[in-house]
Each structure stands twice: as C-alpha cells, then as structure tokens.
Amino acid sequence: MMAQSASAQSLTEAVDKTIRSNPNVLAEANFRRSVDKTIDQARAGYYPQVDLNLGIGRERAENNSTAPGHRHLTRGEAGISASQMLYDGFATKSAVEQTQSQAESAGYSVFDTAESTSLRAVQVYLDVLRRQDLLKLTEANLESHERIYSQIEQRFDSGVGNSADLEQTKGRLALSQANLTSNKGNLEDALSNYNRVVGNMPEAPTDPGLDCCDKAPATLDEALAIAYHQHPALRSAMAQHEAALAQEQGAEAPFHPRVDLELSTRADNNLDGEKGHEKEILAMARLRYNLLNGGADMARLEETGFLSQQAREEANIAIRDIERDVRLAWNSLDNLSHQLPVLKQRMDSALMTREAYQEQFNLGQRTLLDLLDTENEVLTASADYTNTYYDHLYACYWLAETMGKLLEQLELEAPEEAITVASPEPAE
C-alpha cells in the first residue's frame, strides 16, 4: 500500500527515497542482478561436469549369444562419468567476458535510471513548490480584487461611483476567482505527480535555493567533457559494445577443435541377453572437431560481426544524444540566468507601481481601470518571475543530470546494483 502522507522532506530526502523505492529503478536493479547470474552460468564451462546414470528393466534379447532363440532377463545399469574441458576454442572465456560486459552495461543502466528518475523527482518536487507559490499569488490577487470591489461598492452606494465601474470590477473579480480555482487544480495535479514519482504525498516541501547552480561547470566545453567521461548511458552503451565483441570472438569457437578429459565407470547386469555382471572403467582424452555444419557457423560469425557494429553505432547514438541534452540544458540555464534578474526587477517595479496607483486612486488621480490593470500586472509579473525562478532552478539540476552528476551533486549514493566492478574469471 502507498503511504498516505509523510513528514516534511527536503529535496535531497525526497530524491533519496525515490531512488530506493521507485519501481523503475527497482526493475533495472533486479535486471542487473539477473545478468550477474549469467556470469556464473558462463563460468560453469570451466568446471567439471559429473553425470550419474542408473537404469533397470526387462530386456528381450535375440542375438548370437541366445541362438537359436531369445532370452528375457532383468537388465540393470549403473554408471558415473566426469568430463573436464581442456580446450574449447575460447568459447567459455568469450562467454564469461560477454556476460561480464553485459553486467557492466546493466549496472550503468541502473545508474542512468537512478539519475533520470532523480531528475523526475526534482521536477515534481519543484513543481509542487511552484504551484503553491502561484496559488498564493492568485489568493493575494483575489484579496486585492475583493478589497477594490468593496471600495467601489461603497463609492457606488454613497452616490460617488457609477454602475459601469462596479460591473467592471465584478468582471475582474470573477476572473480572479476563476484563476484561483484553476491554480488549485494545478496544485492538486502537482501533488498527484509527486505521489506517483516519490511514493508519498508531500508535506511542507522547502525551497532548496539556487546553491546548486554554483556547482555548474564554467563553460559548455567543460560540461561536455564531463558528460563524455562519465555519463552512465554512454558507459552502458560502450559496455554493450564490449559484450558484442566478446560474442563475436566466441562465434569463432566452432572453427576450433574441442578437447575434453573424460573419466567414467560402469557396473551392469544381464546385458544383451548374457546373464552376469560387467564392469568398465575408462579414462579418455577426447578430441572433437566438426568438419561440416552446413555453413551455420560461418553465418553465425558474420551475424555477430554485424551485431558488434550495431552496438558500436548505438554507442555513437548515445554520444549524440548526450551532447544534445547537455547543450539544451546549458542553453536553458544560460537563458534563464539572464531572464531571472530582469523579471525580478519587473516584479518589484509592478509592486511599487501598485502602491503608488492605490494612493493616487484614493486621491482621485487614477481611474479604476488603472488600479485593476496594475493588480493584473503584479499578478502577471510575479507569476512570470515565479515560473522563471523554478525553471532556472530545475535547469541547474537538469544540467547535472545530463552530465551524469545529479546524484553526486545531491550527495547521494547510487543503488548498490549500479556498482559495475566484475570479479576476474578463472584462467583457461
């Protein structure tokens, strides 16, 4: 069951909870664990195989030993055999290297999913703060319209005002009420999105401030260099390419002989119509070499070659995607950084203008339309500044995510499954 509420969470706490409990991250983590088990499966090729064979039943035999008739006997078989691979054309070595690279790729995929999910958590967290602030602005705007309407109504009742002013104020008041209703709905949507991503409803979220922007690289080239070096999506694609190369190497194994050491012993009763007990012990070095397989092995080798080329191009796709994302995030942050102080100045000017217009309106130097217009200007300027402030804040975290550094910037540890160190395999 999903928690209905939670205590107050900072942004870092919300992100940490998300990456520990979000289904998208957990799904990738479990996939990584499953891939780890394929390494153990591949390593099994280095170790002996032991088989036990037991059987009992009735046998009807008709051969030289039973001539001129046939014989019915109870046949019994018991045997145990062991085989140890000595040389398999490096098929096992290639399989281990392939699965290790796949596990490496899966580990980086866990990291990448944790990063992107963390960014989504940042987005919904900031959106709740944004919607709360916008709701406060519309509530203040409604209070101002109600105050102005009360003033106009008093003037009208005293015979100073006119009905046109009163009706115009009513219209503006109705619009303000509609804006409040709309913003309440937007806040409910933001809360639902937060619950979907983080796993609980937010309670008293706090503004993390713009300190994160101080950690941004000084130049775009620096940001790109960091992304090329450590972005988990690129590392995952490169590890997948390594896995494809190992698979291609493994496809050459059928062109080599296979050598096994085989040990076996048997104890049988009443075989082939001859009553009695038989024992057999074997120790064999056995070479198997396929001479013709209908061209399947060559086709498989060519197939794996194309698959490795595909994996290489997918790594190139990842490089282009990462460069695009870094550039988009950088441009967004740069543009918003220039917009924010200008919009702050506009908002401050609108607030001062509103105060001046109210005083002038009371003195009869401003019209009702002037007063209503300045209230709308305050709302618009404040809303524009609020939206830009949170867009700018989000862009800081977005840039960190495009470089693969969001968790590092938040001082959070990646999930355990994102660890990509693989233990060495036994020597062949």
Quick: pLDDT tens for 2-42.
Answer: 344 445 789 999 999 999 999 999 999 999 999 999 999 99
Mean pLDDT of 236-247: 97
| pTM confidence score | 0.86
Residue 360, both tokens: 């002038």
3-state secondary structure 51-78: EEEEEEEEEEECCCCCCCCCEEEEEEEE
Taking the C-alpha atoms of residue 256 and residue 54, their distance in angstroms, rounded to an integer, is: 34
In the block, residue with structure tokens 């999105």: 193
**Residue 264 pLDDT exceeds 90:** yes
**Residue 47 pLDDT exceeds 80:** yes
* Least confident range of 363-367, 394-398, 407-411: 363-367
Residue 56, both tokens: 């009992």
Taking the C-alpha atoms of residue 16 and residue 116, their distance in angstroms, rounded to an integer, is: 13
**Residue 422 pLDDT exceeds 50:** no
In the block, residue with structure tokens 């989504």: 120
Residue 219, both tokens: 């130049």
pLDDT digits (tens, 9 = 90+) for 347-393: 999 999 999 988 888 888 887 788 888 989 999 999 999 999 999 99
- Domain 11-47+90-256+300-418 fold is Outer membrane efflux proteins (OEP) (1.20.1600)
Better-predicted residue by pLDDT, 213 or 117 = 117
Give the count of beta carbons closer than 10 Å to the beta carbon of residue 156. Answer: 17
- Return the pLDDT at 254: 96
Mean pLDDT of 197-207: 90
**Which residue, 297, 254, 244, is CA-closest to 91?**
254
Give residue 209's pLDDT band: very low, low, confident or very high (50, 70, 90): confident
Taking the C-alpha atoms of residue 316 and residue 163, their distance in angstroms, rounded to an integer, is: 70
Across the chain, what does the average pLDDT equal?
90
Residue 79 pairs with which residues in a beta bridge? 53, 266
Taking the C-alpha atoms of residue 11 and residue 410, their distance in angstroms, rounded to an integer, is: 9
Question: In the chain, what are the domain boundaries?
Answer: 11-47+90-256+300-418
Mean pLDDT of 149-154: 79
For the packed helices 23-43 and 91-157, what is the interaxial angle rounded to 10 degrees?
180
- Return the pLDDT at 211: 82
How many angstroms separate the first and last alpha carbons of the chain?
A: 50
**Residue 425 pLDDT exceeds 80:** no
Give the count of beta carbons closer than 10 Å to the beta carbon of residue 48. Answer: 12
- Return the pLDDT at 276: 67
